[in-house]
Structure 1
Amino acid sequence: MRYRRAFVPGGTFFFTVNLADRSQRLLTEHVDVLRFAFRRVKKRHPFEISAMVVLPEHLHAIWVLPEGDADFSLRWRQIKGTFSRLLPEQSWVSQSKRDRRERTIWQRRFWEHQIRDERDFAQHVNYIHINPVKHGHVQRAADWPYSSIHKYIRAGVMSADWACDPGEGTFGERLM
């Protein structure tokens, strides 16, 4: 079966993007480089980030694309490429990749889901914000520095103690 992406101009999408080596911590260790890559691409190809979390080896985001524009793949390709080119070459690049001048630190593909309605949007925002707790990085979602939860708290949409009970997640997964 062949995977088909949902290209919806002006659509809202949830994404999961992973490093190729999930044991690396490059995204949080070089979060300023990642932020620069996002700003650079957003300037050339605008989009809105509704929610996002950056973990050491993967990230989740919800984007809203401009009216008439469905090319999220271009944006991800440019973000990944900019981030990769700006990182100092280190041991995470294998000798065989170095010999071929490759710096493939990302998984080739990414996963996207078209947001269908307000309920779907809210569930994915919650999933994004609980992710650092789910992966054991922090006890409280608000304690993770690389999350849009802080924007939601400042806006009064969520409280700082949101999801402090590490019981069930919004998708039924056990968090602890």
Structure 2
Amino acid sequence: MTFRLANASDDLLVRQVRLLRDCVALAQQRWDFTIDAAVVLPNEMQLLCLFQDANFGTRGAIKLICSAFEHHSPRNETNVWAAETEVIEISGAVAPLRRTFVEAAPVRAGLVKAAADWPYSSAHKRTAQGDEMGVAVA
């Protein structure tokens, strides 16, 4: 899943990464999915998730993440997110490649030279995290 902000020049997601993480954790509790890889860029979040049933829970999780983030965002704005969240269903055989692709997003964006250097990524999760729920970033 790829979530993008409506304002492509905004850095709200990294400024509010803890809130975003809590919103994802809330969706995980409700829809029971796991996250294999994650990255939060200034204006985009990518999640590689495993749902028990791809037809059940995906849209609900997206809606919950987006609405909870909008509701609790310090700006208290609506329409924070771009019109659509990109969802790509992949096979298990492709998952390792997609994980590498997701975790390399900060390198492609020119934010860091090595994926593990970006603090808002599962590639960086080898460092201590404050909480094990939600996206293992920041």
TM above 0.5: yes
Matched to 1:144, the amino acid is W
Quote the residue 2:25 is aligned against: 39
For residues 30 and 129 of structure 1, what CA distance do their matches in structure 2 show? 19
Contact 2:37 2:48 in 1 (8 A): yes
| Structure 1 residues 26-57: Cα deviation after superposition (integer angstroms, max 9, x where no partner) | 10000000011111121122110011101000
Which is bigger in relative contact order (C-alpha 8 A, separation at least 6)? 2
2:102 to 128, 134, 154: 128
| Structure 1 residues 96-125: Cα deviation after superposition (integer angstroms, max 9, x where no partner) | xxxxxxx1110121111111232x111111
TM-score under structure 2 length normalisation: 0.84
Kindly, what percent of the aligned residue pairs are identical? 28
| Structure 1 residues 148-171: Cα deviation after superposition (integer angstroms, max 9, x where no partner) | 1134x68xxxxxxxxxxxxxxxxx
Gaps of 5+ in 1: 1-14, 94-102, 155-176
For residues 141 and 37 of structure 1, what CA distance do their matches in structure 2 show? 24
2:49 to 35, 38, 63: 63
For residues 54 and 101 of structure 2, what CA distance do their matches in structure 1 show? 28
For residues 88 and 29 of structure 1, what CA distance do their matches in structure 2 show? 10
Q: Report the count of equivalent residues.
A: 127
Quote the residue 2:14 is aligned against: 28
For residues 103 and 17 of structure 2, what CA distance do their matches in structure 1 show? 17
Quote the residue 2:86 is aligned against: 111
| Structure 1 residues 128-156: Cα deviation after superposition (integer angstroms, max 9, x where no partner) | 111101101111111100111134x68xx
Mapped pair 1:86 → 2:86:
no
Query: Runs (4+) of structure 1 moved beyond 3 Å?
Result: none
Residue 69 (structure 1) shift? 5.8
Gaps of 5+ in 2: 128-138
Rg comparison, structure with higher value: 1
Residue 66 (structure 1) shift? 2.1
Matched to 2:88, the amino acid is H
Contact 2:118 2:124 in 1 (8 A): no
| Structure 1 residues 40-79: Cα deviation after superposition (integer angstroms, max 9, x where no partner) | 1211221100111010001111111125862201101100
For residues 59 and 44 of structure 1, what CA distance do their matches in structure 2 show? 20
* Structure 1 SS opposite 2:87: strand
